[in-house]
Structure 1
Amino acid sequence: MTLDIVVLGLSITSSWGNGHATTWRALIKGLAERGHRVTFLERDVPWYRDHRDLRQPPWCRVELYETLADLPRRHTAAVRDADLVIVGSFVPDGAAVAEWVTTQARGVTAFYDIDTPVTLARLEHGTTDYIAPATIPRFDLYLSFTGGPVLDLIETSWGARAARALYCAVDPDLHKPHDVVPHLTLGYIGTYSPDRQRTLDRLLIEPARRLPSLRFAVAGPQYPADIAWPANVERIEHLPPQEHARFYCAQRYTLNVTRADMIAAGWSPSVRLFEAAACGVPIVSDRWAGLDSFFTPGTEILIADATEQAMAILRDMPEERRRDIAAAARRRVLAEHTARERARTLEAYHAEALAARARREGVRPGVGAVA
């Protein structure tokens, strides 16, 4: 069945300091490839306007709006008539957007939390401004970037009707092996975050200091000027998504560093894991609960807790084993973690939500569903 889908998300047009763009682009492209029609409504804000790298994707329609009041004026009919309406996390004025959507939409509604551990912490402290606790039970689906025990918590503590994991995914058309000679021993892509910096120091910067003959790179914006980068660490301020694959393929290993909230929650894979694996590059990762449900440690991914472990991998790993790990991870990702697979998962959740709605509304014999 072809679905008409409306998405209200943070940004799909700009990937500048915005990991959401990668997720939305992959998922919506996967939905389009399966025949669905998607409209993406994005708030036109200066920081994304000045850094747009995909103004009009070929696989969906993008509509920019300037103020919250523009939504009911211009887009009520689209939201009302859609088969599925998805509101993403961190949307400007998101709490009001969610209230409007759950009031107007006649189809299935979903909140897609691309920041689940952060959202739950903010809900606990009463500081979230993009979703209100009272609105959560009004959505048919709470789609979460985090799986595992957190899903039960979202239902029992916050009243979600159906909390379901919808992990990030990779677009294998963009992320695939390139004919590039790896000149970097270890690289990393990630916007600066204070809670990740200690791990980056331990697993990349300190190994670079101790191994001055090897080359390293860190790509991503917002790093403080006072970080003392070793001379053999290349800094790249921003790397657009279309350049990620070549950057991965220029590395012998790539580093995955997980935010503290996501380590605490577990079952929160970064899209960088799937991207690098699809490119055929072995991953060195920090440790978190649930990682082994996405990759098998030792055969599909390498775990490092300390500087010495990272250095041992970079210096001593036999080349045949390095290649075997990369190949195994690529097979796993292409089988389980592509955008098309996520689109199929979303279709199943939509069907589940429709069935649950019919049960809630009840059926009277000979009459049909109660309106």
Structure 2
Amino acid sequence: MKLVVIGLSLSSSWGNGHATTWRALLQAFAARGHDVVFLERDVPWYSGANRDLADPDFCRLAFYQSLDDLERFRDEVSGADAVIVGSYVPDGIEVGRLAQQWAAGAVSFYDIDTPITLAALDRGDCAYLSRDQVPGYANYFSFSGGPTLQRIEEQFGSPNAAALYCSVDTDSYRPVDVPSRWDLGYLGTYSPDRQPTLDALLIEPARAAPELRFVVAGPQYPDDIDWPENVERIDHLAPADHPEFYSSCRFQLNVTRADMIAAGYSPSVRLFEAAACGAALLSDRWLGLDTLLATDDEIILPDDGAAVLDLLRTMPEERRHALGAAARRRILAEHTAAHRAESLEQALVTAGPATRNSRAA
């Protein structure tokens, strides 16, 4: 089939997890024999040095400057077998309306920020999706699974809400044989609602253990954060450098946004990427995590900084390696991009072009 995606960004991973999610999914989808076009709004913060995939080999990437400029791609959209509009697309409400007007095939929505989106819809201030659009999307592919899917159908009128968790390209994300540089690492863009957990599970342990080494990688952290001397900061880490980063940390921390914790069943793409690299994972707690990775066997959930320090100081290396290896096996068995691409293909084939007729009626 021919698939057209209008998403936040494929070309730049700077400050967002969308790019790596789209890259893994669409590369695996194209590998199944499909033709993919990705349309991206050309914005300054994803251009220049921040554009780390300007010419992908698995799809055609094209940029548009404005809503009016998107009109150049009307024939691409109308000629597609399926169209997907992503969350956080600039002017996403109008982009979604145009996609639903132009497309002959089914139009779906992929929400890589589901709990945040639904909270914004409840408040009436979502900038990229309106409530009246949801029934017009043949599928509402959701970053979150569990009870959220029923809510999307019953409260917002989606004809089909389905979990499409983030995934990982396991050809790119795999263990790297490098020495350990840090005892505990975290990779993620700054978010105010994640910061208290990062403080509790990494920064405070670093203050209490000056003999240990810590690292936080990701952009947009405020200048007024008081980083301990044994916490190294990396402002931005390109995806190509992620596997070495994960492999250079004895333990890797996963921190979840507050809305994601409240919804449950909302795994970050970083969770899958780190696990695919064989990282020994520590995480905060949320409903549904144990359906993805087994607590204590594949991931450990420390309750506070003291528990983190105990793990860093006392866990035998054999046990740590076994933890990471078990997580990697689980990812390879259930959470690769190939798994997600197959699920996406089945959903798009099932939706078919008839959805447009029901929408028009």
Fold similarity call, TM over 0.5 = yes
Q: Report deviation, 1:122.
A: 0.3
- Matching residue of 1:256: 254
Select the residue among 168, 186, 189 that pairs with 2:187.
189
Select the residue among 107, 119, 129 that pairs with 2:105.
107
CA 1:249/1:313 → structure 2, altered by over 3 Å: closer, same or farther? same
Unaligned runs of 5+ in 1: 362-370
The alignment partner of 1:303 has SS state of coil
Cα displacement string for residues 324-371 of structure 1 (whole angstroms, at most 9, x for unaligned residues) = 11111000001111111100010111122239849969xxxxxxxxx9
CA 1:241/1:358 → structure 2, altered by over 3 Å: closer, same or farther? closer
Aligned mates of 1:59, 1:231 — CA distance in 2:
43
Select the residue among 114, 118, 121 that pairs with 2:119.
121
Q: How many residues align?
A: 360
In the alignment, structure 1 residue 328 sits paired with structure 2 residue 338: no
Select the residue among 169, 172, 179 that pairs with 2:170.
172
Amino acid corresponding to residue 206 of structure 1 in structure 2: E
Equivalences for residues 188-267 of structure 1 within 5 A = 188-267=186-265
- Matching residue of 2:92: 94
Aligned mates of 2:107, 2:285 — CA distance in 1:
34
- Matching residue of 2:60: 61
Unaligned runs of 5+ in 2: none
Aligned mates of 2:293, 2:353 — CA distance in 1:
33
Aligned mates of 2:348, 2:357 — CA distance in 1:
14
Deviates more, 1:290-299 or 1:351-360: 351-360
Q: Report deviation, 1:316.
A: 1.1
Aligned mates of 2:35, 2:130 — CA distance in 1:
29
TM-score by length of 1: 0.94
- Matching residue of 1:25: 23
Cα displacement string for residues 113-132 of structure 1 (whole angstroms, at most 9, x for unaligned residues) = 01000000000000011011
- Matching residue of 2:149: 151
Aligned mates of 1:97, 1:267 — CA distance in 2:
28
CA 1:211/1:267 → structure 2, altered by over 3 Å: closer, same or farther? same
The alignment partner of 2:67 has SS state of coil
CA contact (8 A) 2:106 2:356 kept: no
The alignment partner of 2:216 has SS state of strand
Q: Report deviation, 1:15.
A: 0.8
Q: RMSD between aligned alpha carbons?
A: 1.6
RCO higher in 1 or 2 (8 Å CA, sep ≥ 6)? Answer: 2
Select the residue among 300, 303, 309 that pairs with 2:301.
303
Cα displacement string for residues 93-116 of structure 1 (whole angstroms, at most 9, x for unaligned residues) = 100000011111111211000100
Equivalences for residues 266-281 of structure 1 within 5 A = 266-281=264-279
CA 1:21/1:358 → structure 2, altered by over 3 Å: closer, same or farther? closer
Aligned mates of 2:358, 2:47 — CA distance in 1:
43
Cα displacement string for residues 50-98 of structure 1 (whole angstroms, at most 9, x for unaligned residues) = 31111011111011011101122x1111111111100000101100000
- Matching residue of 2:341: 343
The alignment partner of 1:302 has SS state of coil
CA contact (8 A) 2:105 2:354 kept: no
Amino acid corresponding to residue 90 of structure 1 in structure 2: Y
Aligned mates of 1:341, 1:356 — CA distance in 2:
26
Q: Percent identity?
A: 57
